[in-house]
Structure formats: C-alpha cells, structure tokens
Structure 1
C-alpha cells in the first residue's frame, strides 16, 4: 500500500470516558467506506493545548510489521455548541490513490450535513447511525505507514480521548460552559431531639452536640441543564423529606424533579424525629413537626443558595486506594469498593470551590451509647477539607455501603478515633493526584417511582405475610440516574450491598461510562443483599432485607432500564458494536464486544440455528440414555438439571445471568434450556489433565501450557466447538476456547497471558450450592492480571465440587496448581516442598502438572478420585489412568524432554496422555495458542491443531 496522508484540521466528535492510551483498531468498525466518507471518531475528549500524543498499534491485515502511527497536536478548543453545524476547515484530502483528489471545504460540509441527516450513506454507515457530536479538535497532518496491507479501499480511524491530564480544562465561554455553585446550611436540631441510627437508643433524647450537622449543596449547570446534589448529615432520606425539600425549592425557582439528588451521609448520630413511616420511629424516635420543618427548610435553603451562587469552573477527578481503611463486616473474603473517588471544582486561580467525595463505609465510629449529635467521620472529613480550602464546600456521598465499615485501629476514645479517621481521609484527598476532565456531552436525568417486589419480612423463624408487610414498608420508591457527559450517578433509595454496587458500576463501565453509585438517596427501603446471602440469618444485613432474595436482580434491572433512556440511539452503535463471525479451518471464531447481555446476544444472533441444534442434540442424548422410561425421560432430565441449576443460581452474578439471557434471546431459544445446559459441567464433571512448563524446562525459556479436556464424547459437545474473543470494557479481554451457546469457560487465556484449565477430582466434600466451575474460570480470565489474583478469587468464592486447577502466567513465566473441594484449598508452585511429602508425587523444577490425584494429604483423604476412599482411614495410594497416565506419565515425558520443550513437543505430550474421552486439546505459548477438537473417532490431541495468535484479536 502506498503512503497515505490525510489532513483534517477541524472535526467533531462525541465523548466517552476511557483511560489513557486505549485505542480501537481501525477495523473494529467493520465496514468499508467510499471516497466521500472520511471519519475521525474520538471517545472521551478532554484534550488540552500543546500536548502531543503518539499511538501505534498493529494492523489486523497484512504482515505483522504493519503499523499505523498517528500524531496529534491539540490547538485551542472552540466553544462547544451542539446546535451549531459542524465545520471542517481542511481543503484537501489526499487519498490512497496515486492521483490525489481535491475536495473543497463546501463539499466536505455538504457531506457532513448528509451524514447528520442520514442521506446518501453506504448501508453500513446507515446501520451504524453515525453522527457528529459536541466537541471539536484540530489535528496536524499525519502519515500512515503500511507494509504488506493491500486491498483496503478506505480508512476508518478511532482515537480514544484521554482523561488523565494534570492541568485542568477551563470552562469555555458561552452557554455550554460549566458553572458550579456551593452552599451549606446547619441542620442540627435542639438538644433533646432524639438521635437517629441505632434502635438500642429507643428514642431517648440527645444530651448535647459534639459537632454540628450540615446540609451541603452542589449545583452544576451547563446551558439550560442544571442539577443539584444535596448531602445531609442524616441516617436516611425518606420520600416525605424529599417531597418537602423539592416543594420548598419550587416555591423560589422553576426546577425539574429529576434535577434534585438528595442523599444522606448515613451518620448514626444525626437528627432523629424525622421519620414519616411507622417503622422509622424505631431508629429515629417519634416524629416532630418542628424538627422536620427546620431540617427540610435548611436543606432547601442550601440548594437554593447553591443555585444562586454559580460561577464558571474547571472540573477535575482523582481517586485514592483506601482498601486498608475499609472492611467488610459480613464476610472478610468479599471484594469491596476500595477507592475513594473525588470530583473537584476549581475557579480561576486554581481555587477549589467544591468537592464531591464518594466512598462506601458505614459512619458508625461512634457507638449506640453516644447521645451527642455528630456527623461522624463524613462530617470530620468535610470539615477538614473546608478548613484547608476556605470558601469551598465538601459533600460526602456514601456508596454501596450495606456491608462495609471503617477499619481504623487504635484510639480508645471514639470521638478521637472518628476525628483521626476523617483527618486521614482528608489527607488522602489533599495529596491526591487530580486530572482535568470534561463534562461535555449530553446532560440528562431520569427519576422514576418504581413499584417494588412484594415484601418478604422475617421475624425470627416467622415470615410476615406480604399483605401485612406491604402496609408498613414502601410499595414504590425512587430510582434516579444523572448523566453528565461520560459521568453517571446512580442514586439508590437504601443500603446496597457492596458486591451489588460493584456489579452495577462494572456494567456501566462496559457501556463506556464512569459510574458512581450513591446510596441512602431520595427514599429508604432498607438493605439489599445478594441472593446467596439472603437466607443467612447470621448476618444482620440479611435480616433487614425486606424484599426477598430477588431484590438485587430487581435493582440492577431497574438501573439498566433507566439508563436506556439516557443514551441516544446513535450512541448505542458504539456502546454495542456488532459481533463478527469468522471461520478458521472450519472452526467458528467469534469476536464479541460490549456489555454482557450484548456479547451474549450477538453470539446467539450469529449462531442461532447452530445453538438450537446443539442444545437439542445434547438433551436428545440424555433422553436416549433414559429410553427405558419413554414417557418420563424428558421430565426427569428437566427436573435433574433444573434442580441443580436452582442450587447454583444464587451464586451467579447478574452479569453472568445477562450473558446467558443474551444468548437465549439472540438465538431465539428458551432461557430455561440455556440455564440447564450451564448446569451440565457440575452434574457431569470433566476428567482432564493440565500442565505448564517454563524456564529451564523449555527450549527458549518461555512458558508453554497444555490443557486436555476429557468429557463424555457421546454427548457430542465437541461438535459445537468455537473460539470466542470477548471484550467487555472495564475488564480483561479473553479468549473462551469452548462451545457456542455456553457462556462459561472450560479453557481460555486473557490479554495478560493468564491461561486456565481444570481437572475434575471427585470428593466427599462437595455441593451444588456454589459458584459453578466454568463461571469461576470465567471470572479469573475477566479479572486476573497475575496468578495471585486468580488464586485469591478461588479462595474467596463459594466452591462446589472437587477440582484441580492449573493457572499459568506467560508474561511472568510461572504457574501454580490448585487443589480444591467445597471447604478446602491447597496450592503448589514448582519444586514445592509440600509436594515432596507425598510418596506418589513427581516433583520438577519449572513445571507444574496435574491429573485428578491430590497431593495435599487433607484433600486426598476426601477423594474418591484415583481409587481413593474417604470412608476408610488413612490415605490410599493412587491408582488408575488418571494418576498413572495423566499425571505420572505427563511428568515423565516432561523429564524426558526437559530443556527442549516447545509447542510441537507439547502436542506430543498431550497426545500421549489423552484418553479416549479427550474432546479438546489446547497448547498455550502466548501470544500463540493451538486448538484441537475431537474429529470422528479421533481424540482431540490426535486431530488437527489450529493455530491462533492473540494479536489477531
């Protein structure tokens, strides 16, 4: 391909929030463009003057030496105004053609106008729904160099905008500038008013004021759009209080309901006597009208003052790791939101005027015995920031904090501890690295009063009927979302479990938003915990979750549905790009990008008939096995697989649920069938072998891993094999080497070179009530950047059956083996001294490998695998092919080829140890990997190996 120069000096684009250096390849757009269609598309656009950015990435076509290099130099950014027509000042377009064509500015403007109207576009562009968005940028000419790429009729370039600049982006003049106003008003009631937060206080009167309570307001506006965030030092906000504050604001100003975000810091030493519901008196004391009027008047006044005091500002974002300052009070194994995130607004002269501080933790540093008003650590934090930056107002927004509390040792005096904790957090913010951000893009808000599920209230061992519970607890409540360009605020009316909050935020990141869950907002409906915790009566959080085990899914569905109203149709093209179906030597290859549901839907859409046929074939096999019960076999299969799935389902993350639902919807198949298919690996465990070798063991020192999947080949699963590249933004991209219609992972590798494989190892310590193995492997590939993270995930989850795992890290050249049962886990590195204690072990340096035989004595004592017998005392010496062939022979073959191992020898080892049930064999030598599936009567390891390279994806 000849050298190409394209000169574009001004173009428009819309923005999404992505990290520095992220770049989508030109071919991700998946269409050819004609001579008149030149697109520059940039996501997340806060670019500042005089900064040059250079990106290089390999082409998907042609030789591996084919690169595209782009150099951007930013000039002054003109005022954003989406209502103005796009301007393109370049007068020339030098195309790939040897005879450059002159393109007038008028012609380019006409073309862009046609693009906006959807006229004269190629079919692929019409489907994509391209439009030009609100921000503009000037580019210097750049040169594209290509070696070996031919037949490319046109070029589509995607540039990802950068958030992390150290210098602020100043508000531009005009109606689209960012304006912010801040204010605060004291809401401390008279001494003697009950405190709110702990039922143990029983409504007793307060005895004093340790520190005052405040309502703090932050008003943001851009053009005609404006929103007010009000944070109050209260334990909760209920519907009555929200309505009163909004009504008082509207007496002074015309204000839309969705523009007000009202939330409590959740201090447990705040003002009581506010509750309008019967049950609220148990934590707030009996309601008093004068207290309610005082607090609501003060909150409204703060909001109105903030709206009246707006000035032009710049916006900045920073975050800090606070995992050492927060702990999970339900279960220390659970993941937690470990960041404190801060939006800072500065006036001219770098003067901070406002902070919005977001973190998740219960403000309970002061105990129930405290009878003095206090804002707890949020008040201490805000107060110290406001003292450090006079004139600024610092709002605290608590997140998904249902199961979280501060972790801070020392200080017998609880007031001193509270003050020290607040100071520590303020120091984190003071020394935080802030980056300029842009809030350009659509500003939209949506608040809905949503009908809630029926209550399921439990008192001890008694369950209160829904009809009775519905009389005392809300039947409807407010869910709210605010979109400020790429930033998304999700206001929840209660206490959301941190795991559910993380799931929501991760899914919003998959839609290219920067999300923030705000709890205790607009109303209060109690706690919401994940389904698997709801029945656990040992946790306080579960006992005060009033709407049943399905409430976490209900919350997530509701936020997803509301977001649909905040995203324009043309934006969804980029949030949810079309999947691609390719073929490599007859093996289907899928490229899937987007959120979990979309990834599943595209798989179903592209392979719908094959998925239907595959599911039918598998269930037909089981019906054939039960042919002696001709009128019962279908019912029995449905009951067994359905019952197994019902036990696993509470442990399935909502994103995993959506992925499966997407497959079913895309393929037009019953969701129940897809669920039952996903129960099969736990009902009928696989019997496999895995190994990883590196360093001195291999020919060039690189890491090579083998993975043989051995399963019941009569089911015909191997006839439905596929290789699926999956990228959900915000998570690790990975390749699922598996089967279409099945979202779990049995074999795979991710962008960090982490490969996974497992071996079924039957044990007496097993259950169906846990995270199914394929979903555990999937989570490792999506989240793990190293072996330690993968190991920690297996330690933390609720495990099911006996499995062994080999997790290998190609970049760091090491691997570990992990042996598990429901309640036990042991892991081993190469040359592990603990392995040497097992008389039947073969221990090698720079190599780990496993069949189903456990080397940990405690786990081996529980095994049925390899001729074990948990009913007998003592350890049985392993026997059978699982030990003798898949483990011992594998080790001997590694010894025989030690120092010479390469992918071809690895294939030989895989063939030598593969049983007749071998349906898949994978060789990993990242970035290369080879995939073989059983063909005819041949084992997979004896069939064709098809080569792939990670960079292809």
Structure 2
C-alpha cells in the first residue's frame, strides 16, 4: 500500500529535477579562471619549448628565390566558408578563382617556403595532411610558412568538427587531400624556379582603407582611441631578378569581408583585385592577411564588386607608387622557426563570469595544436599567428624589430586557429571579437604577443 501523498510525491519529483539540473550545470559550466598567465603551467611549457626549439638561422650563399601558383578552385557545389549564417551554402558560380601562391627560398645551406592560400584560414585538417608528406620533400614543418588571404567568400568543406563546419560547410575529405597535394605541387614548382634574386622591404600608409571595427560604438569607453589603435601600413617585399622580372608579396591588416554573405559566388574579395592589378605590371604577386583581428576595410559603395575593385585598386596604386622607392639587394641570411603554443583550458563564455566546460568546447571545435611560426629573409622577419590576431599589437612588435635592426611583418592563420586575439583591456566588451570569438580567456592577447616577441628575438642576427 502506497502511503505517500500526491503532494509529497510531487515534492520529491521537483527535488530530483532540481538536483539533476544542478549536477548538469556543474558538469557543463565552470567559473572563469583569472590566474595570471605567467603563473601557469602552460606558459612555462611554452617557454621551455621555445628554448628547446630555437629558430634556425643560416648565413650562406646568395638567397635564391622561386615562385609559382596553382589554381585550387574546387567544382561548383562546394560550400563557401566565412559566415555561419550561410548554413553551409554552396556556391553556384566563380567570380574569380582561388589560388595557392608559393615562394621558395634557398641560400645553399637551407631552404624555406612561403605559401599564401586564397582561403578563410589555413585549415587544420589540411595542415595535418601536409605534415604527412613534408618528409617526401625533404622538409620539416617549420620550413613551410603558411598563410591565408582570409577571404570570407572563398570555399570551405575542410572543417571536421561541428563548430568549424558551421563556418565552412559540410566536410569533404577528398577536398582536403586534394588541397594538400596542390600545395605540395606549388612548392615543387617554386623550388624548380629558384634563381638569385635581390630582395627589398617596402611599406606605405593605407590609413584611409582600414578601420578598427572593435571600437566602432561611440558608447565604447575606448572609442576615442579608434584612429590610433590601427595597423594602417601596407607592407610588402619586392623581389627583383637580373632579367628585370619582379615579384611582390604584400600584407595588409583589413578583413576581406566586403562582399555579401548571402551571394552563392566564390571570390577572393579585395585581395584578388590587388593581386590581379599588380600582376598587370609585375611577373608575380601574392597577398596574405596581416593582423586583421579587429580591423576591417573601409569602402563606400556597399557590399559589391565595385567596392572590392575600389579597395584593391587603391591598394595597388599605393604599393606601385612606393615600389619605385624600394631598394633591393642580395641577401644571405635565411631562417625559420615554429614554436608549439601550449594553451589554457578553453574559456568560451556564457556570461561575464562563467564559461562552458572544456570538454564541451572541445567536442564542438576539436583540439588542434597551435604554433607561432617565423620566417627570416635578411633583416625581414615574418611572424605567423594561429588566430585572428589584432592589428593593435603590431606597433609593439614593430618597435622591437626596429630595435633589433630588423623589419617585422605579422600574418594570421598559420594552420591552427585559437579564435580572436585582442588586447586584454577589451576582454569584457560586449562585442563579437571579445565575447563570442575569445576562446582562451582574459590574457590571450598578452600571452600570445609575449611569445611572438620572444620568437622575434630569436631571429636577432647571430
């Protein structure tokens, strides 16, 4: 005989439900960790890795340079990458094709490669495939410096986990394998094209074409600093051969997000226009996204191809004007490095003080290795970040490079991805970059920048 009253039964039911919800919350929610990064194990491990795997720098014969490009455009029906709201939309036409553009460098003692892909990022799955075949080329991963243009209207299909597929559409393993092989082909072709080549560094202001989009709100306490807190320089290398053939490698810190997200068309956005314009005057050109983490392009004719043409044309004009002033010379120093970047537990926030449990974040986005990469040509050092790295950090990096008697060029998307990296002071801003896309906590900016500065210091001429 059941002696419990219905009222008591309901009370127990409510209690069990409450306990279940509390246990569930305890499993999937964690408080934010505000431990200073210098006091953490992951920081100490990265410092140890940095000391144990220093950059390789060699002084040999004249640096020879080769270049090559491969069309990597997959068939119509491949998903676009760049905006989750597309819901895996496939493109129906190609406005301008996507390419892998590769430079090869050799000074007789060692060799290195620079790869610029017309993609949103260098996909993590593609990096894994490449690392399987590098030994066949006689290369180590650190000898291949990977970058992307960050066009939000290029193709996807390369993301495995749900969170990555949300931005890049349905995963296609054949596309990933093919893309890796195309990159390898571009490396081989560039290697075959090596010739003694003079190299020169150039930079010109393009302040009218870039804005700090993180500080766009007048109510933002940092709004008044929006003009100073920008990386406004269009940086480039000029390569010059005896026969007069010239090549250009350019880097700019403005998001290629001009074109509309709802158009089923593949395009390189403004970087494609810039490269095509340059190649009307020089033998070869390539572009890589710089520190784009909080920067976007300035344009006035809507999300149209007219706007991409305008921005690309104006950048090309600025570069060509400066190109005449750039002196080139033979270089003898070639260096490269890759430092494993140990990470804290993910801190994907659901409120100001709470984050999702790490296992839940990892189940959505996956766990991928991250690295800081570097490439040195003479007194020019490239530094590669596994992130949407903010242009606000570039001044600090440039200052150290100049103190070392060098020039620094920062690029993003080197084959890993850890979200948006912005200055720590912005951590609590209610913005996309600082809330939705900050994956690893309040000190990500200071941490990553310190390691990049330490990596730069390793390239001080020996």
| TM-score above 0.5, yes or no | yes
Q: Secondary structure of 2:383's partner?
A: strand
User: Is residue 554 from structure 1 mapped to residue 434 from structure 2 by the alignment?
Assistant: no
Q: What is the CA–CA distance in structure 2 between the aligned matches of 1:413 and 1:243, rounded to whole Å?
A: 35
1:452 matched to 2:343: yes
Residue of structure 1 in register with 2:208 after alignment: 324
Q: Quote the residue 1:418 is aligned against.
A: 308
Larger radius of gyration: 1
Q: Aligned equivalents of 1:417 and 1:440: distance in 2?
A: 38
Q: CA deviation at 1:413?
A: 6.4
**Secondary structure of the residue that 2:417 maps to in structure 1?**
coil
Cα distance in 2 between the residues matched to 1:504 and 1:393: 28
1:889-946 per-position Cα deviation (integer Å, ceiling 9, x unaligned): xxxxxxxxxxxxxxxxxxxxxxxxxxxxxxxxxxxxxxxxxxxxxxxxxxxxxxxxxx
SS in 2 for 1:293: helix
Encode CA deviations 1:786-844: one digit per residue, 9 max, x unaligned: xxxxxxxxxxxxxxxxxxxxxxxxxxxxxxxxxxxxxxxxxxxxxxxxxxxxxxxxxxx
Going from structure 1 to structure 2, the CA distance change for 1:496 and 1:189 (only over 3 Å counts) comes to same
Evaluate the alpha carbon distance shift between residue 350 and residue 316 of structure 1 in structure 2; reply closer, same or farther with a 3 A threshold: farther
Shift of 1:187: 1.0
Matches within 5 A, 1:698-777: none
For residues 377-776 of structure 1, what are the structure 2 equivalents within 5 Å? Answer: 377-389=270-282, 392-409=283-300, 411-412=301-302, 414-432=304-322, 433-438=324-329, 440=331, 442-459=333-350, 463-471=355-363, 472-474=365-367, 476-567=369-460
**Distance in 1 of aligned mates of 2:111 and 2:208:** 37
| Paired position in structure 2 for 1:276 | 160
How far residue 437 of structure 1 moved from its aligned partner, in angstroms, is 4.0
Give the CA deviation at 1:290: 2.1
Q: How far does residue 560 in structure 1 lie from its aligned partner after superposition?
A: 3.1
Matched, 1:288 2:172: yes
Tell me the distance in 1 between the aligned counterparts of 2:434 and 2:186.
Answer: 33
Cα separation, 2, equivalents of 1:317 and 1:565: 20
Structure 2 CA distance for aligned equivalents of residues 279 and 413 of structure 1: 26
Whether the 8 Å CA contact 1:450–1:478 is kept in 2: the answer is yes
Q: State the TM-score, normalizing by the size of structure 1.
A: 0.40
Q: Residues 857-888 of structure 1, C-alpha deviation per residue, up to 9 Å, x if partnerless?
A: xxxxxxxxxxxxxxxxxxxxxxxxxxxxxxxx
Find 1:343's aligned residue among 233, 237, 240.
237
Which residue matches 2:38?
Answer: none
Aligned counterpart in structure 1 of residue 67 of structure 2, from 157, 182, 194: 182
- d(CA) in 1 for partners of 2:368 and 2:307? 39
1:509 CA drift (Å): 2.4
Distance 1:422 1:563, change over 3 A: closer
Q: Give the secondary structure class of the aligned counterpart of 2:208.
A: coil
Structure 2 distance, partners of 1:439, 1:280, is 43
Cα pair 1:439 1:487 within 8 Å, conserved: no
Q: Any conservation in 2 of the 1:216–1:393 contact (CA below 8 Å)?
A: no
State the superposition RMSD in angstroms.
Answer: 2.1
Gaps of 5+ in 1: 1-132, 135-174, 572-953
Q: Deviations over 1:156-188 (max 9, x none)?
A: xxxxxxxxxxxxxxxxxxx61121111001111
Kept in 2, the 8 Å contact 1:533–1:542? The answer is no
Per-residue CA shift, 1:11-55, capped at 9, x if unaligned?
xxxxxxxxxxxxxxxxxxxxxxxxxxxxxxxxxxxxxxxxxxxxx
Give the 3-state SS of the residue equivalent to 1:340 in structure 2. Answer: strand
SS at 1:430's partner residue? helix
1:213 aligns to what? 98
Deviations 1:650-694 (A, max 9, x none): xxxxxxxxxxxxxxxxxxxxxxxxxxxxxxxxxxxxxxxxxxxxx
Please give the TM-score of this superposition, normalised by the length of structure 2.
Answer: 0.80
Distance across 1 between alignment mates of 2:148 and 2:397: 20
Shift of 1:399: 1.0
Question: Contact 2:239 / 2:328 at 8 angstroms: preserved in 1?
Answer: no
Higher relative contact order (CA 8 A, sep 6+): 2
Structure 1 residue 364 corresponds to structure 2 residue 257: yes
**C-alpha deviation, 1:434, in angstroms:** 3.3
1:377 alignment partner, SS class: helix
2:113 aligned to which of 214, 221, 228: 228
- Following TM superposition, by how much is the alpha carbon of 1:299 offset from its aligned partner in structure 2, in angstroms? 1.7
Q: Distance in 2 between matches of 1:393 and 1:459?
A: 47
- CA–CA distance in structure 1, aligned partners of residues 158 and 239 of structure 2: 32
Deviations 1:709-738 (A, max 9, x none): xxxxxxxxxxxxxxxxxxxxxxxxxxxxxx
What's the secondary structure of 1:295's corresponding residue? helix
Aligned residues: 392
Question: 2: distance between equivalents of 1:413 and 1:451?
Answer: 39
* Aligned counterparts of 2:203 and 2:177: Cα–Cα separation in 1: 37
258, 262, 267: which one aligns with 1:374: 267
Task: Tell me which residue corresponds to 1:260.
Answer: 144
Q: Measure the CA separation in 2 of the matches of 1:299 and 1:290.
A: 14
Question: What is the Cα deviation at residue 248 of structure 1?
Answer: 3.5
Instruction: Tell me by how many angstroms 1:286 deviates.
Output: 1.5
| Distance (Å, rounded) in 2 between the aligned partners of 1:250 and 1:259 | 11
Q: Which has the higher helix share?
A: 2
- Against the structure 1 CA distance between its residues 454 and 395, is the aligned structure 2 distance closer, same or farther, given a 3 Å change threshold? same
For residues 208 and 473 of structure 1, what CA distance do their matches in structure 2 show? 31
Q: Matched residues in 2 for 1:323 and 1:562: separation? A: 28
Over residues 521-564 of structure 1, what are the superposed CA-to-partner deviations in whole Å (9 max), with x where a residue is unaligned?
A: 12211111111111111344442010011111110222233345
Ranges of 4+ aligned residues in structure 1 off by more than 4 Å: none
1:324 alignment partner, SS class: helix
Aligned partner of residue 387 in structure 1, secondary structure: coil
CA contact (8 A) 1:454 1:470 kept: no
**In structure 1, how many angstroms separate the alpha carbons of the residues matched to 2:76 and 2:232?**
37
Residue 245 of structure 1, CA deviation: 2.7
Aligned mates of 2:263, 2:413 — CA distance in 1: 22
Cα distance change on mapping 1:372 and 1:475 into 2, 3 Å: closer
**Are residues 1:298 and 2:201 paired?**
no
- How far did residue 271 of structure 1 move? 1.1
The whole-number CA distance in structure 2 between the counterparts of 1:475 and 1:309 is 34
Which of 200, 204, 212 aligns to 2:85? It is 200
Q: Taking structure 1 as reference, are residues 304 and 499 closer, same or farther at Cα in structure 2, changes over 3 Å only?
A: same
Secondary structure of the 2:101 match is strand
**Helix, strand or coil: the match of 2:370?**
strand
For the structure 1 residues 513 and 322, does the alpha-carbon distance in structure 2 shift closer, same or farther, using more than 3 Å as the test? same
Residue aligned with 1:419, SS: helix
What is the alpha-carbon distance in structure 2 between the residues aligned to residue 248 and residue 236 of structure 1? 20
* Rounded Cα–Cα distance in structure 2 between residues aligned with 1:269 and 1:413: 12
